[in-house]
Amino acid sequence: MATDNRIHFWRRNPKVPGSLQPVYGAQHPPLDPRRHRLLKDAPKVSSVNTKSKKPSTFHEFARSTNDAWDIDDEEDDSVFSLKQLSSSPVQSQYMPQTPRLKIIKTPEDTEPLPPSLDRQEPISTNPSQERLDIERGPANGRVVKSSSDAQLNVNAARNTLQKQQSLPVRPIIPLVARISDQNASGAPLMMVREKTRLDKFKQLLASPNTDLEELRKHSWSGIPREVRPVTWRLLSGYLPANRERRDLVLQRKREEYFGFIEQYYHSRTDENHRDTYRQIHIDIPRTNPLIPLFQQPLVQEVFERILFIWAIRHPASGYVQGINDLVTPFFVVFLSEFVEEDVENFEMASLPLDTQRNIEADSFWCMSKLLDGIQDNYTFAQPGIQIKVKALEELVSRIDEDVHVHFQKCEVEYLQFAFRWMNNLLMRELPLRCTIRLWDTYQAESEGFSHFHLYVCSAFLIKWRKEILSMVDFQSLLMLLQNLPTIHWGNEEVGLLLAEAYRLKYMFADAPSHYKR
């Protein structure tokens, strides 16, 4: 009687174990209706025999529906094999708990498949022999499938591959700030355009007298990494436009810098300069603490010499905290001439001594040229910064009155967050790779560091408009402004920021009536 009940149960139950049901949330992602349709439309093997003879025992039912138990395993296995394409070829080996499935490639499949799906072995297409193999169990940890199952696997794998290829690939930039140029959006590089731009730069730099205006025009939208060092030297005024004079000028300026070292550096322990050197010595380890390059003792000694010599030669301002940050972009760019990649982990001691000295001298002179244009930012009471912060407040009040009024309601003063923006030229707000791209444009502008920077700060502030207006108290708003989420920024974000800054400059720079209330 018990045997008859089992037989009648399997005959009348429409939903049998192993049948595929579209249950939302049962898997991630949910069941694809297109793939479900493929299962329904797939050709059935020996359908005549199935209709004429119904399964009378559980063993017969299991033999006729064996693929229903493994449908999820087949899908997972195909997805897993596709994920392995970018790393290494899949090796067929025995896996006791998750046996790998063999797949037959039917004549209709003319499209090339991934390597993991192309590696197939001939199997028997005899249904009786196949049923006998299944009864005996998996041989060597493998399950032999029918041709209809193989076609299903091929279609499923192809659909999965097409879905994966359609998804945008966004590179993961690590939290430790990387220096190399990148696009945070993962947009494909425009190789032809970049090569054309690089050729144009090389042509300008190779001319007997470089056209600096033309060079600035091409540098505004970014300078290729290969020519950035020499371009920065030219645009900062460190190198002459005449090509024949460049080597002589470099030699003379480098010798002059190390003459300053011999003349002044020993006085760092004197009573008059002890406090200056002590402050520099404290600030240097704080410079880009997340980048291993700047934690090397040799690099820190280079920075100490550069900053101390500059402070000695500029007594009106002396050393001010924040100037230490302004050395790093020049140092990294000039170091990149000798390092192709992974600059942030490069061992400075591996370079020849002459190369190290040249990088140090060039960084000093280019930083000096930069500070000559904004020295009032660092004189007593830092009047230049106070003027710029006040100008930022007036400009934002005209650009976005809602943000300006929100600051007033929360009692947030512009000086509380924008002082650092002006003092460090946004270097504490942006990753170093973004600062280097930003300075490409600053070098191309006639008054990039002193004037255009104001509009960049305005555009930078308005970019976070939504987040600013969502903060309802002083503490949360100030915490946001001092920790803006830019760690994953790349060249694309900086380009958009500069474009908005240029628009603001075009609208307000020469319109005093629009600039003030």
pLDDT in tens, 284-334: 999 988 899 999 999 999 999 999 999 999 999 999 999 999 999 999 999
Cβ–Cβ under 8 Å, residues 228 and 205? no
Q: To the nearest whole percent, how much of the chain has pLDDT over 70?
A: 62
Q: What b/e string do you get for 111-126 counting C-beta neighbours within 10 Å, with b at 16 or more?
A: eebbebbeeeeebeee
CA distance 260 to 308: 10
pLDDT score at 43 = 47
For the chain, what is the mean pLDDT? 76
pLDDT over 70 at 428, yes or no: yes
Please choose, from the candidates 151, 177, 161, the residue with its C-alpha nearest in 3D space to the C-alpha of residue 67. 151
Q: What is the dihedral of CA 491, 492, 495, 499, to 10 degrees?
A: -170
Compute CA 335 distance to the chain's CA centroid, rounded to the nearest angstrom. Answer: 21
The proportion of the chain whose per-residue pLDDT surpasses 90, expressed as a percent, equals 57
213 to each of 13, 202, 442, 444, how far by Cα in Å? 83, 15, 14, 9
Q: If we measure between CA atoms, which residue out of 456, 395, 397, 447 comes closest to residue 421?
A: 456
What's the pLDDT score for residue 209?
96
- Range in 137-141, 150-154, 229-233, 510-514 with the lowest mean pLDDT: 137-141
pLDDT band at 133 (very low <50, low <70, confident <90, very high): very low
Those residues with Cβ within 8 angstroms of residue 202's Cβ, 6 or more apart along the chain or in another chain? 227
With a CB cutoff of 8 Å and minimum separation 6, the contacts of 138 are: 99
pLDDT confidence of residue 508: 87
Report, as an integer, the average pLDDT of 205-221. 96
Give the pair of three-digit tokens for residue 238.
Answer: 């460190």
Mean pLDDT to the nearest integer, 190-197: 81
Tokens of 435: 């600062």
Helix (H, G, I), strand (E, B) or coil at 362: helix
Query: pLDDT tens, 101-120?
Result: 444 444 444 444 444 434 44
Give the mean model confidence (pLDDT) for residues 153-162.
57
The pLDDT value given to residue 513: 62
pLDDT at 8: 53
Residue ranges with strand state E in 72-209: none
Q: Count CB atoms within 10 A of the CB of residue 28.
A: 5
Tell which wins on pLDDT, 191 or 385.
385
CB atoms within 10 A of CB 134: 16
Q: 444, 434, 425, 431: which is closest to 492 by C-alpha?
A: 434
